[in-house]
Chains A and B, each alone.
Chain A
Amino acid sequence: MSKHTFTHLDALESESIHIMREVAAECKNPALLFSGGKDSIVMLRIAEKAFRPAKFPFPLVHIDTEHNFPEVIATRDKLAKDLGERLIVRSLEDSIKRGTIVIKNPDLPRNPFQSVTLLETIDEFGFDACMGGARRDEEKARAKERIFSFRDEFGQWDPKNQRPELWDIYNTRVHRGENIRVFPISNWTEMDIWQYIGREKLHIPSIYYAHEREVIRRNGMLMPVSDLVQPKPGEKVEVVTVRFRTVGDVTCTAPVESNARTVDEIIEETATTRITERGATRMDDQTSDASMELRKKEGYF
């Protein structure tokens, strides 16, 4: 292949396209989980590359915590509309009204409950495969998960009972009632995502770029001030130039101090950062060494 150039991004992209096409061909009723965050925006571009000039052979699905950054929801809706693809939104509020989610305080982080609404949505539409934008470099539980991750009827991941995954021959078979989560960008890192966003000139929510924001310093992190996050007695509101490395529940996603206002500047910063993506930005993953593992077993992506 010396006469051709095939970079690591080309290799990752081609692998991800191959995975999505396997899902489309072998699963009866797949869906693509799409939040408007950067990883799922990369997933949309890969889906375009996999299926254009046709429409996607699956809908986009967002499990909405309603603890959102407005910029992210605006991007979600704009992208779905521009692409002309079907977007299904199911909200945690509906599960709360149904009584299937019981929360003590509506302002507390809702990520732990996303699994409930996701499973209800899978049930409502009969999805047998949900593609998600999780990456193995994010967290050590993810590092041990398959690309095609089999779930039982309760949506549970059993880490010690995974199907061996050889070459790129994927076993997509499930019995009725069971389903699989598929992670087409498993092998991408945070750096790959940024390089790809740069190469493809993808539109991402503005809060990924450096901007001035009111924050509170709490537990060594910067918490963005919002309707849901207000200063406690003794805490001081400061205006700091920050960007978000991940976006999620507004009550537990912390930005990092940064002056990176372009993709190139973010790539430079990502190359020199000394803190992992989730370590820097997710309060909920720090609760214990095994937080993510426990959430996955409950049916989280």
Chain B
Amino acid sequence: MSNTTQLLRFITAGSVDDGKSTLIGRLLHDSKSIFEDQFSAISKTSEKRGMAAVDLSLLTDGLQAEREQGITIDVAYRYFATPKRKFIIGDTPGHEQYTRNMVTAASTANLVVILIDARRGVLVQTRRHTYLASLVGVPHIVLAVNKMDMVEYSQARFDEIVSEYKAFAAQLNLHDVTCIPLSALVGDMVVDRGDSLNWYQGPTLMEKLESVEIDHDVNTTDFRFPVQWVCRPQTDEFHDFRGFMGRIEAGEVTVGDTVTVLPSGRSSTVKAIVTYDGELQTAFAPQSITLTLNDEIDVSRGDMFVKADAMPAVAKEFDAMMCWLSESPLDKNRKYLVKHTTRTAKCLFSKIEYRVDVNTLEHHAEPVVNMNDIVRVGLKVQQPLAFDHYKRNRASGSFIVIDEANNNTVAAGMIV
């Protein structure tokens, strides 16, 4: 791995029965990312359990708390690297609370690997995983048709599954879908091609992970700069320095550009782009920078810098798709907090339009919103927010809902 490799975040969706843990184990093992002490620990456990070969799924085995109490902690993160890329896997084990876990893990992912058992084909859960991936806007989808060794590596079977899946994906407007036949158990088409799938000409799973184009996963056109922190050193050297610190969430900015501060609507021009490593002429998403302006205008945390050629909406009311994460149902009579970019504001739910059945995609009128429900809602916030449609810009179209009574994060929202 060199200093010029890119970072790719991906998740795997599927159950233990689909061979998900085995697939992750296989990726780690065949890319030589498993250490000897880890391998010897799982070898011992495999032997204790009377297994003939080392069970790679044990690599993703849980904590003592999980084993003792039979619970599953929602997301575990794993890391590996190849000479081409560094990878972060968001691993969401278990069936329980699947919606909540997958939405959480998918929210930061560039890519999702949806696993199918070749014998069983496209199931209800495949549709659910695909719908959730589309809801959270994961840019790239890989359909991994696993256990090809159990269907005699049949091309006809693979083609049948692919055509059924692609018809479904088209309904959800998913465009970047790659279908790969593989066997995680044997190792075919995961890292190595193997000898049994010679009719398949496409990339192995690893080749896909290493080559998928991710530069445009962030919005590169609409400049969005939420202010995190106002820097006023008040030292002799930096007496008049007033810098606006934050991360560019979308687009880019160049010294001299006219920027507008929302929600106030005041404008100025960029005087300098300051970083620890020196001043920049141009900065782009997702760089963390400090901006200084040529005019003294009122700016504080929670404000957003934008440019006139690509303005977001500024409003106190909007609609959103929302995943409810809390064990306590949504209470329509209560106020909650919304945290959107760097701004936190009180909010009310003005309407609950419908709940989506994640298995059939049907809409139901539903007065009660429980954990794992996906609902379309209307929100009213106390202060205006500067936002985009989630599909256009993940960073300025997403928010979380916080229950002030216990400070828990109770929902994830995507503005529509």
Contacts and interface: CB of A to CB of B under 8 A. Distances in A.
Given A160-B71, A290-B64, A17 B288 contact: yes
A105 B97 CA distance: 47
Interface string A148-164: 00000000000110111
B63 A167 contact: no
B233 A53 contact: yes
Interface in A11-47: 11-15, 17-18, 21-22, 24-25
Given A7-B6, A159-B73, A169-B400, A53 B237 contact: yes
A168 B286 CA distance: 12
Contacts of A164: 74, 100, 104, 325, 409, 412
A278 B352 CA distance: 50
Interface string B84-122: 011010000000000010011001100000000000000
Contacts of A17: 247, 288
Given A137-B79, A276-B35, A21 B246 contact: yes
A88 interface: no
B63 A279 contact: no
A90 B216 CA distance: 48
A173 interface: yes
B199 interface: no
Interface of B: 1, 3-7, 35-38, 41, 62-66, 69, 71, 73-79, 81, 85-86, 88, 100, 103-104, 107-108, 215-216, 218, 220, 228-229, 231-233, 235, 237-238, 241, 243, 245-247, 274-277, 284-288, 301, 325, 339-342, 394-395, 398-400, 402, 404, 407-409, 412
Interface size classification for chain A: 35 or more
Contacts, number: 183
B284 A1 contact: yes
Contact of A199 (B3, B75, B107): B3
Nearest to A297: B65
A190 to B, nearest CB: 9
B229 to A, nearest CB: 5
Nearest to B216: A1
A218 B3 CA distance: 37
6 contacts: A1-B284, A6-B286, A160-B69, A162-B73, A164-B412, A169-B339
B395 A167 contact: yes
Nearest to A270: B1
A290 B63 contact: yes
**Chain A to chain B: the 6 pairs with minimum beta-carbon distance, closest first:** A279-B37, A290-B64, A8-B7, A17-B288, A54-B233, A173-B407
Nearest to A3: B284
Nearest to B337: A173
Contacts of A49: 275-277, 288
